[in-house]
Structure formats: structure tokens, C-alpha cells
């Protein structure tokens, strides 16, 4: 059986407490960063499902109506009338005819377009968040 000197035992306990205290700083910082990112994740998820809902509502529209809006916009960088009115969280809707077969061989999907395919993008104004799809009749 070993006998410890009372002072040595206290020193060991004090050293262990100091090591634990030093280790708690990075652990606490990691927890704090994780808690902050949760709010960002919730916001991103809400925005994703908002965009997805708008996308599905547009896909339910008649193709002729979407095609007419694409012709009025005239360009894939101009928001259509399906976009929200100005305000926070505004969703922008872009429509353009799409060149799926690249028959003109210029590798630009928005020239030499076909009449039976539309490119659809829904995006949140001022962010890089958006969804894209192709729509056919």
C-alpha cells in the first residue's frame, strides 16, 4: 500500500482541476459555434422550403401562361411578373425558353431555343439561394 503525502495529493488535484479548466475553453467555444449555426440552419431550411413551395406552385401553372411570361421577360436575367412585389424576402421568378439540344452549337442554353421547354428559376432577392428546373408541356 502506498501512502501519499497530503501536500502531494492536493497538488495532483489542483493540477487536474487546472487541466480541466484549460480544456473547457475550446470545448465551450465549440458548443457556442454549434449553437449559433443552428439558427442559420433553421433560416436556410425555411428559405429552401419557401422556394420549393413557389417552384411547385409555378409548375402547376399552365405551360402556355409560363411561356407567355418568358416571352414578355425576353431574357433569363429579367424577373417575370410571377415575382413577389418589392419587400423583405422577395422571391424572384425567372423564366426563359431553353435550348436543350444545342442545335446551334454555341453551348449557350438560352439561344436557338425550343418552343416546348422552359428554364425556371426561383430565387430570394439579394442572396445566392435559388432553385432551378426545366418545364415542358
Does a structural domain hold residue 55?
yes
Does a structural domain hold residue 126?
yes
Question: What are 74-108's pLDDT values in tens digits?
Answer: 888 888 889 888 888 889 999 988 877 777 777 77
Write down the pLDDT at residue 113. 67
Write down the pLDDT at residue 6. 62
Question: What are 15-67's pLDDT values in tens digits?
Answer: 888 898 888 888 888 888 777 777 778 888 888 999 999 999 999 999 999 98
CA distance 19 to 30: 18
Q: Under DSSP, is residue 62 helix (H, G, I), strand (E, B) or coil?
A: coil
Distances (CA, A) of 11 to 1, 15, 28, 99, 121: 20, 6, 26, 77, 66
Is residue 49 left, alpha or beta, with left meaning phi > 0 and alpha meaning psi from -120 to 50? alpha
Helices (H), the chain: 6-59, 63-73
Does a structural domain hold residue 106?
yes
Count of domains observed in the chain: 1
Residue 114: pLDDT above 80? no
Note down the domain range covering 17.
6-135
Write down the pLDDT at residue 11. 80
DSSP secondary structure letter of residue 112: S
Does a structural domain hold residue 1?
no
Does a structural domain hold residue 96?
yes
pLDDT confidence of 5, banded at 50, 70, 90? low
Amino acid at each position: 500500500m502506498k501512502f501519499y503525502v497530503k501536500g502531494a495529493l492536493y497538488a495532483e488535484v489542483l493540477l487536474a482541476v487546472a487541466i480541466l479548466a484549460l480544456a473547457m475553453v475550446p470545448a465551450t467555444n465549440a458548443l457556442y459555434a454549434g449553437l449559433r449555426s443552428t439558427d442559420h440552419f433553421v433560416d436556410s431550411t425555411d428559405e429552401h422550403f419557401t422556394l420549393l413551395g413557389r417552384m411547385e406552385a409555378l409548375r402547376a401553372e399552365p405551360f402556355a401562361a409560363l411561356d407567355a411570361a418568358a416571352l414578355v421577360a425576353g431574357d433569363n436575367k429579367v424577373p417575370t411578373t410571377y415575382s413577389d412585389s418589392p419587400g423583405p424576402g422577395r422571391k424572384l421568378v425567372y423564366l426563359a425558353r431553353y435550348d436543350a439540344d444545342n442545335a446551334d452549337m454555341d453551348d449557350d442554353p438560352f439561344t436557338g431555343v425550343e418552343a416546348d421547354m422552359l428554364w425556371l428559376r426561383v430565387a430570394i432577392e439579394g442572396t445566392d439561394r435559388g432553385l432551378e428546373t426545366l418545364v415542358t408541356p
